[in-house]
């Protein structure tokens, strides 16, 4: 139903360890992360999840993309949406073109979801790239059109993951925390500052975000792997 785009597809994504090295320790960590996410949401409706962090460069896009791969490889029909309209990069992870995307679906009348969503090299994994960077991302994400789009997308996909900008920079992640079933907060070793983490926590609490877990990225201990997930009690 969703068309394979004529793009510069390479065989693998740029950074997708779960695709390039599925048997590696880190890929195993991502599968554990998947299990933990499923356990965190065991009693709840669980269709939309978003990824944010306090600051840029903490690994939101990397984590969201790999989580998307491991859920799709379990047979779920997954859509990864690049809702970081400030610094979109999901298309690069999957070597897709970004001529059209989320902004087209939010700002144009006669556009079909099927014509904009792109298939990836991973079976059951689809990507909605950002499209042209708009001047008003927060407004677009807060719009009724976004609610309607999310409703429609849930008819096509079992799981929809949203990659968001850092929460301290702009309101986008707060806006989306309110519209999604759960939030995963990514903290990168050596990048995240303690004060910023407190501020981020306050901002998430302020909008009653359902933070289901924290991914501690880039943990530098050779005996342990790079990604750690901590469930958050609600
Ligand atoms: N655990 C990690 N080890 C090494 N490099 C990483 C790790 N996590 C992220 N990176 C790299 O850091 C950069 C920023 O990651 P990205 O996922 O784009 O962050 P964000 O989306 O939060 O801005 C990318 O070049 C990515 O490849
Ligand atoms: Mg990013």
CATH classification at residue 70: 3.40.50.300
* 139 touches ligand 1 (CB under 6 Å): no
Question: What's the confidence (pLDDT) of residue 197?
Answer: 96
Q: In this structure, is residue 9 part of a structural domain?
A: no
The answer to whether the beta carbons of residues 119 and 2 sit under 8 Å apart is: yes
Q: In this structure, is residue 12 part of a structural domain?
A: no
> pTM to 2 decimals?
0.92
**What would the pLDDT profile of 174-218 be if each residue is shown by its tens digit?**
999 999 999 999 999 888 889 999 999 999 999 999 999 999 988
Output the residue whose Cα is nearest ligand 1's atom 4.
218
Mean pLDDT of the chain: 89
For residue 47, give both structure tokens.
């269709």
* Dist. CA 188 → ligand 1 center (Å): 9
The answer to whether the beta carbons of residues 216 and 228 sit under 8 Å apart is: yes
Residues around ion ligand 2, judged by CB within 5 A, are 60-61, 89
* 86 touches ligand 1 (CB under 6 Å): no
* 138 touches ligand 1 (CB under 6 Å): no
Per DSSP bridges, beta strands 182-188 and 211-217 are parallel
Q: Which residues, listed in sequence order, are joined to residue 53 by a DSSP beta bridge?
A: 186
Q: In this structure, is residue 10 part of a structural domain?
A: no
Total domains, the chain: 1
Q: Give residues with Cβ within 8 angstroms of 76, minimum separation 6.
A: 124, 158, 159
Helix (H, G, I), strand (E, B) or coil at 231: strand
Q: Which of 16, 24, 25, 62 to mutate to test the pocket of ligand 1 (most atoms within 8 A of CB)?
A: 62
**pLDDT value at 233 more than 50:** no
* Dist. CA 39 → ligand 2 center (Å): 26
Question: What's the confidence (pLDDT) of residue 59?
Answer: 95
Query: Per-residue pLDDT averaged across 36-57, rounded?
Result: 90
Atom of ligand 1 nearest to the CA of 62: 17
Percent of the chain with pLDDT over 70: 87
Q: In this structure, is residue 181 part of a structural domain?
A: yes
Q: In this structure, is residue 61 part of a structural domain?
A: yes
Q: Structural domain of residue 118, as residue ranges?
A: 17-231
| Res. 40 pLDDT band, cuts 50 70 90 | confident
Q: In this structure, is residue 36 part of a structural domain?
A: yes
Q: Which residues, listed in sequence order, are joined to residue 230 by a DSSP beta bridge?
A: 214
Q: In this structure, is residue 1 part of a structural domain?
A: no
- Dist. CA 62–CA 119, nearest whole Å: 18
**pLDDT value at 10 more than 80:** no
| Res. 232 pLDDT band, cuts 50 70 90 | low
Question: What's the confidence (pLDDT) of residue 44?
Answer: 75
**What would the pLDDT profile of 88-146 be if each residue is shown by its tens digit?**
999 999 999 999 999 999 999 999 999 999 999 999 999 999 999 999 999 999 999 99
Question: What's the confidence (pLDDT) of residue 12?
Answer: 42
* 55 touches ligand 1 (CB under 6 Å): no
Question: Radius of gyration (Cα) for the chain, nearest Å?
Answer: 16
Distance of alpha carbon 33 from its chain centroid, rounded? 14
- Dist. CA 56–CA 224, nearest whole Å: 24
Q: In this structure, is residue 168 part of a structural domain?
A: yes
Helix (H, G, I), strand (E, B) or coil at 77: coil
């Amino acid at each position: 139903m969703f068309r394979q785009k004529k793009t510069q597809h390479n065989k693998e994504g740029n950074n997708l360890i779960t695709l390039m090295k599925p048997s590696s320790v880190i890929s195993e960590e991502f599968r554990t992360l998947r299990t933990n996410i499923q356990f965190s949401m065991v009693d709840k409706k669980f269709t939309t999840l978003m990824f944010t962090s306090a600051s840029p460069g903490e690994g939101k896009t990397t984590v969201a993309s790999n989580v998307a791969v491991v859920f799709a490889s379990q047979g779920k029909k997954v859509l990864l949406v690049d809702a970081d309209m400030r610094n979109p990069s999901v298309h690069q992870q999957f070597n897709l073109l970004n001529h059209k995307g989320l902004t087209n679906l939010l700002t144009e009348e006669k556009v079909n979801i099927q014509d904009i969503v792109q298939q990836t090299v991973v079976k059951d994994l689809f990507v909605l790239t950002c499209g042209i960077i708009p001047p008003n991302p927060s407004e677009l994400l807060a719009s009724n059109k976004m609610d309607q789009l999310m409703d429609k997308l849930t008819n096509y996909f079992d799981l929809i993951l949203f990659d968001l900008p850092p929460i301290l920079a702009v309101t986008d992640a707060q806006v989306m925390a309110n519209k999604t079933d759960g939030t995963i907060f990514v903290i990168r070793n050596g990048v995240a500052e303690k004060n910023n983490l407190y501020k981020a926590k306050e901002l998430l609490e302020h909008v009653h975000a359902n933070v289901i877990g924290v991914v501690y990225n880039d943990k530098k201990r050779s005996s342990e792997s790079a990604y750690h997930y901590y469930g958050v009690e609600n």
